[in-house]
Amino acid sequence: MNRNRFKFLGNFIGGILFPLSRIFIGTEPVIFDPPLLVISPIEFSPTHPANIKGVLAPLLRNPCRNLYVEVIDFSLNAESFPNFIETVEQSIRNPAGWCYKKLKEKQNHFGKSRVEASYLCIALDQLENDKPICPCLIKIWPPGHHSPVHNHGDAYGIIRVLHGKILIKFFPFLSVNLRQDSLMEQLFVENQVTWMIPKLNQTYQMKNLDMDVSCCITIHCYQHKTDDAIFCERFDFITNDGHRIEHYDCLPDTNYLTFKNMMLMESKGESTA
∠ Cα 146 148 154 (to 5°): 120
pTM: 0.85
Break the chain down into helix, strand, coil percent, rounded to 5: 20, 30, 50
- Cβ atoms 223, 211 nearer than 8 A: no
The residue-averaged pLDDT of 47-58 equals 70
Cis before residue 148, ω within 30 degrees of 0?
Answer: no
Tell me: pLDDT of 47 over 80.
Answer: no
Higher per-residue confidence, 30 vs 225: 225
Instruction: Give the residue among 232, 254, 235, 259 at the shortest CA–CA distance from 134.
Output: 232
The residue-averaged pLDDT of 10-33 equals 46
The residue-averaged pLDDT of 212-231 equals 80
Instruction: Give the residue among 80, 81, 98 at the shortest CA–CA distance from 89.
Output: 98
Contacts of 148 (CB under 8 A, 6+ apart): 110, 111, 117, 205, 237, 238, 239, 240
Tell me: pLDDT of 264 over 50.
Answer: yes
- Domains in the chain (CATH in brackets) are 1-34 (no CATH), 37-267 (2.60.120.10)
Measure the CA–CA gap between 134 and 136, rounded to whole angstroms: 6
What percentage of the chain has pLDDT greater than the value 70? Answer: 79
What are 152-207's pLDDT values in tens digits?
988 999 999 999 999 999 998 898 875 666 678 999 999 999 999 988 999 999 99
The residue-averaged pLDDT of 210-220 equals 89
What are 184-194's pLDDT values in tens digits?
899 999 999 99
pLDDT at 4: 41
